[in-house]
Each structure stands twice: as C-alpha cells, then as structure tokens.
Amino acid sequence: MFFGRRNFAQGKILRLLAIDCGNTRLKWGLLEKGEWMRSGAFSNDLPDEISSLNEFHADRIIGCCVAGERVRTGIEQRLQDIFWIFSRPECCGLKNAYKVPEELGADRFAALVAARNRLPGGGIVAGFGTAATIDLLDENGRFEGGFIAPGLTLMVESLRSGTNLDPGMADFSICPKSTNEAVRSGAILALASSVEKMAQLRHAPLCLLFGGDAAKIAPHINAKTVIVDNLVLEGLSIIARDLWKL
C-alpha cells in the first residue's frame, strides 16, 4: 500500500502540514495557499511539541516516518488523520528501480520526488542526517539505486564506542594535528568522497544535497553541488499536490 491508513475526500486544500520524521528529529513545514509559511524541527520523542502542531489547524497532514512503529504510533496519537506515504514503483514523474520498491525509505522516496522536479537532467541526491544516503537519478526520472552509510555523527561515535579513542568536536583540517581533527576530518572526507565517486562513475552533472550535515560536507566535494533545505518536505508537498490538487 502506498499511502496511509485513511482515505480522504478530494477537495481544495488551503493549509497543508508536512512532517518528515527521521531517526532522531522530526522536521515540519506549513504550506498555505502554495507558499511555505513556517517550518521547524525538534526531537521526535517530545510529545508536547508534536501535539503543538495541532494549533495550525491544517486541512491535511502528510508525512513520512523512518523511526519505527512506536514513534509513528505516538505521532498518530497526537496528530489526527495524518496521511503517511510509503515508497511505490512510480510517483509524480519518479520511477523507482529498487528490486522491491516498498523497501526504499519513505524519506528517500520523498526527497527523490522533489529532486525529480529540480533535476530534469538527472544527478546525485545526497542526504546527510543520522544516516547518509547517496542516490542516483537519471535524466528520465528513474532512481537507479544508491548507497547508505553512517552519517557524520555516527561515524565519529563508532570510533568512540569501538576503540580507545575519545574524539570530541573539532573543525575540519586537510592535515589534522590532533585526534579530534583527524577523526572528524576523516569522516567528512569519507562522505564527500562517496558522493564524488558516484558522480564520477555515472557522469552526474549536479549533486543535490540536503540534511543537517550537508553544509559541512559540501565544501569538500569536488563536483558541482547545491544544498536544498527540507528537500523531503518539498517532496511531500509535491505528492500532496498530486493527491489533493492543492
């Protein structure tokens, strides 16, 4: 099944609330008469903040959630009639080439829908949050596949938990002279190099980046990059427009 548990009547929607619930944070945006009016983010385990979104009195709520059933159920208990999306073989000009289309994360799916709108010639779509995703979109709107790797924080934390290193926060350095710099710089270059490799192998003309760590990774990618805030929310709004004719 593509969309969530309820069927809504067709009709003009003036106010749409879009929700992107990731592994650690919930990002939201309020679209009114086709314009983004407000947006924000908070930890996805804060029930009072989630309930506060009801104050917007949205005509429709559309969302994606990759944080698991417990978190999804908690959101449903606080936001009435939320319409969850799931990946499907085709949507809004995007073709999903996953062997099992439904296995593609709903947030990646929504980001790719938005990227299809922004990249008519195709390119790389890379998200840098808790996990890093590096996906390839061709000129025909076909998602051909992609990589998943630990995000920047997870890379650093894995060295803390798996070794005797205790890396803290540090700035990037091309020639690190402390353990903190070495760990953080290595993690940044590993992610940047993954994007570069995909771009080189597939001759991608442009890399579209999103997510909380995108600005930290972008300067180290030797390819043309554009950072787009809230790409997943943008994709959700496109899907909503197709569903409800906003």
- Distance, in Å, from the CA atom of 140 to the CA atom of 121, rounded to the nearest integer, reads 8
CA distances (Å), origin 35, targets 153, 234, 246: 33, 11, 11
Residue 18, strand partner residues: 29, 62
CA distances (Å), origin 28, targets 44, 111, 188, 234, 237: 11, 14, 27, 10, 11
Catalytic site residue from 107, 138, 166, 171:
107
- Distance, in Å, from the CA atom of 218 to the CA atom of 211, rounded to the nearest integer, reads 11
- Distance, in Å, from the CA atom of 128 to the CA atom of 25, rounded to the nearest integer, reads 13
Residue 166 annotated to the active site: no
Q: Where in the sequence numbering do the catalytic residues fall?
A: 107
